[in-house]
Structure 1
Amino acid sequence: MEIGKHTFSNIFKRGIKIHVMFLSGLFLILAVITIQSPDYKQVAPKAILVYLLMVACLYSGRWLGKQSPKKIRWVFLVLLFCLLTSFFSLIGIFGMAYLLGYKDGADVSGYVVITTLLVILHLFAGAIIAIIRMLTRQQINESRILQYQAETELNLLTSKLSPHFLFNTLNNLYGLSREEHTKVPELLLKLSNLLSYTLYSSDEPFVKLKEEVDCIQNFIALEKIRIGSRLVLEVNIGTYDPTINIAPMVLIVFVENAFKHAKSAVYGPINIFLKLWTDVDFLHFEIENTMTAQSEISEDKPSGIGLATTIKRLDLLYGKAYHLEHGGKDSRYFVKLKTPVNAAY
């Protein structure tokens, strides 16, 4: 079990200025109080010890507050708190006893109680500050997610699948109804499920992976009708856990873009390769398509939700826990996405 990997290096990872200002302000307050004492030269070493002890307890409590039952078990967390309390209390007690010149046999029971209570107070204060900060960040993040969800829903309501897609699909379904009418009911069901998913999936930050995979398969089935024999498609959906969570309309955006830009080739086959699988920690998604010299994958001209908005949603929902690569090379465009399977919500 990893406990606070790179803990000390992460303490000042963000908000360095805030930490410096806080430490400087606390030091100045103690310095002013110490200087006002008539015996400030004797008080100064004790004030420095108190300052270092306070800082150590606050930041240790801050680290404890950042932990959660998902990272560390409750029993282990309580044990850590007790160990830190004992450790800092002993430092404070022996440090002050030395500075105050206590001799063997002197009664320090009162000082033991006061020091222990102060250590516990500062540990709790650091933990509470960390928890409040985490909750505030979470609320801000949720507000941003709701904002982008609203934008996503608006984009879906205004564009959905492109009218061109629907027009051609319905035309092809009409042709099939005359020649191979037995296939039409199944394809109409796929179109209905696809439209239903694009309409209602944006209401939630996360959906089950199976819903997104079904949406992709329905979309591909309809595109096969549109493109016909020119389509050279390889779909490799490996072993995956259908119950894990994923942000809706993320994978389908990359699939839709792949088909849209691959079809820009006037002649020749349209090659598309799609692969999806999950392991213990991540969902892996890869898609690659042919691309002509004139075809440009632009974040300013996306279809559906759009690549730029999708990346913003990934940033908000997964933070730095996901990895995305995309770009063109040798007349082919590729996307490689990796997202954590233990998403919230």
Structure 2
Amino acid sequence: MKPVDVLASGLIASKTGIHVVFCLTFVAIFSIPVVLSGNEGIGFAALCCCLYILFSTYLGRWLGKLIASQNVNWPVALGALAVFTAWTVLGTIGAGLLFKGDYCNHFGQYLAISFPLVALFAFLGVSVSLVRGSLVRQINDANLRQQQKQSELELLIAQLSPHFLFNTLNNIYGLSITQHSRVPDLLLKLSELLRYSLYQTRQPFIPVYKEITYIKNYIHFERIQTDAKICFEEQIEEVADSNLLIAPMLLIVFVENAFKHSRHAQSGSPAIRVKLNVRDSWLHFEVCNTCPAAIPRSKELPDSSGMGLNHTLRRLELIYGNNFRYHAEKQGDEYKMKLALKMKTP
């Protein structure tokens, strides 16, 4: 486990034992010497004062959590004020009974003592709670950034897949012998794909139209290679708004998988259908393709993308959190996936 994870889990987890040790240590330091002095009345009063201070501090800690939750409304605020007032009054009555044996005649005197005492230690508890919450958020943010950096590193390593590149070069070599007129177009598309992979993906987010252009170039590239052996249907909506952003190379893995599995489909007429549109800052992406009815584990197809579906889904979780929906299903020799994600804006 990474140091950040250890520190985060230590701060976030509820440590009842630590609180018990803290309370016992506090009482031991401040009340036991007085109790051991032999004056039972003062010793008992000192113990009660220590407990009152501790409860006041934990009251403030509870108020701090309430503030940090950002769920404070008028009923909650009034309830917290009522608890604070009741605790102050209880301390005033207790002080009168402990020191004077009568709280009625000395209520104002002890109220002037208990109110600032409760306020001081409650404020201390609030401060500790807010500082702790801030540290937890900072550690969580650092942990998330660390995971994103690791994901980006894996993406950079996987951008130039040797499997994809070598197969493509072999295909181009074969075409250069038999159908050399198609080679220039293939090389042009390949250079555009590599340029995007090497340079555009250095940014955490890019305009969605660039990702769409990359997908179209890849589709064109694959169709040249397959020589129209795969029936292809494309319904990709143009997106001109450059303020709609998406993480690079999130969608391509689904298109790559569609071509990969369609080539190995047992159907006599393999087909692929790709749909993409944008509605209210949400991108809707759908890919449907024919595929083998079953693939033995020993003959699983290689991952031409170099990233894999699991890696892509993990990136979606890290980057978009709850702002994406993914569904995939396989029925017979047809595989269909749907992805909806909320695009970022500057």
Q: Residue 6 of structure 2 aligns with which residue? A: none
Aligned residue in 2 for 1:121: 124
Q: Give 1:260 shift.
A: 0.9
Letter aligned with residue 286 of structure 2: E
Given the superposition, is the C-alpha separation of residues 245 and 46 from structure 1 closer, same or farther in structure 2, using an over 3 Å criterion?
A: farther
Residue by residue, what CA displacement relative to the aligned partner does 1:173-208 show, whole Å, maximum 9, x if unpaired? 9988849x9xx77x7665433221111233233333
Q: Flag the 1:259–1:53 CA change in 2: closer, same or farther, 3 A.
A: farther
Percent identity of the aligned residues?
Answer: 24
Of the structure 1 ranges 84-93 and 198-207, higher mean CA displacement relative to structure 2 is found in 84-93
2:64 — aligned with what?
61
Query: In the comparison of the two structures, how many residue pairs are matched?
Result: 320
For the pair 1:25 / 2:21, whether they are aligned, the reply is yes
How far residue 209 of structure 1 moved from its aligned partner, in angstroms, is 2.2
Matched, 1:202 2:206: no
Give 3-state SS (helix, strand or coil) of 1:337's partner. strand
In structure 1, the partner of 2:216 is 217
- Tell me: CA distance 1:62–1:261, structure 2 relative to 1, closer, same or farther (3 Å): same
For 1:100 and 1:191, the matched residues in 2 are separated by 84
Q: Tell me the CA shift for residue 228 of structure 1.
A: 3.8
Distance of aligned partners of 1:321 and 1:97 in 2 relative to their CA distance in 1, 3 Å threshold:
farther
- Name the amino acid aligned to 1:28: L
Report deviation, 1:321: 4.9
Spell out, residue by residue over 1:36-91, the C-alpha distance to the aligned partner (whole angstroms, 9 max, x if none): 25356556665555444433432442454466xxxx9xxx99x9999798566434
* 2:5 counterpart residue number: none
Q: In structure 2, what residue type is equivalent to 1:274?
A: V
What's the CA shift for 1:219?
1.2
Q: 1:7: which partner in 2?
A: none
Deviates further, 299-308 or 248-257? 299-308
Distance 1:267 1:105, change over 3 A: closer
Shift of 1:150: 1.7
CA distance in 1, matches of 2:155, 2:215: 18
User: What residue number does 1:303 align with?
Assistant: 304
1:275-317 deviation line (CA, Å, top 9, x unaligned): 3344557543332211113547999942222223223333333
| Distance of 2:147 and 2:189 partners within structure 1 | 33
Q: Name the CA shift for 1:105/1:222 in 2 (closer, same or farther; >3 Å).
A: same
The amino acid that maps onto 2:257 is N
Q: What does 1:189-338 correspond to in 2, within 5 Å?
A: 190-237=189-236, 243-265=243-265, 268-280=268-280, 282-295=282-295, 301-304=302-305, 305-319=307-321, 321-338=323-340
**Which SS does the other structure have where 2:93 is aligned?**
helix
Supply the distance in 2 between the matched residues of 1:114 and 1:320 (Cα, whole angstroms). Answer: 45
Match in the other structure for 1:98: 93
Q: CA deviation at 1:252?
A: 0.6
SS at 1:243 equivalent? coil
Tell me which amino acid in the other structure corresponds to 2:245. Answer: N
Compared CA separation, residues 319 and 132, structure 1 to 2 (3 A): same
Q: Measure the CA separation in 1 of the matches of 2:176 and 2:55.
A: 76
Distance (Å, rounded) in 1 between the aligned partners of 2:238 and 2:62:
44
Aligned CA RMSD, in angstroms, stands at: 4.3
In the alignment, the residues of structure 2 paired with residue 189 and residue 218 of structure 1 have an alpha-carbon distance, to the nearest angstrom, of 10
- In structure 1, what is the Cα distance between the partners aligned to 2:300 and 2:133? 37
User: Secondary structure of 1:108's match?
Assistant: helix
Structure 2 CA distance, aligned partners of 1:276 and 1:45? 69
Q: Distance in 2 between matches of 1:188 and 1:269?
A: 28
Aligned AA for 1:144? Q
- Structure 1 residue ranges without an equivalent (≥5): 1-12
Structure-2 separation of matches of 1:327 and 1:299: 18
Contact 1:172-1:225 at 8 Å conserved across structures:
no
Deviation at 1:156, TM superposition (A): 1.6
Letter in 1 for 2:314: K
Q: Which amino acid aligns with 1:97?
A: T
Q: What is residue 3 of structure 1 aligned with on the other side?
A: none
Which moved further from structure 2: 55-64 or 205-214?
A: 55-64
TM-score w.r.t. the length of structure 2 is 0.72
Equivalent position amino acid for 2:14 in 1: I
For 1:131 and 1:84, how far apart are their aligned partners in 2?
25
SS of the aligned residue for 2:264 comes to coil
Supply the distance in 2 between the matched residues of 1:31 and 1:154 (Cα, whole angstroms): 57
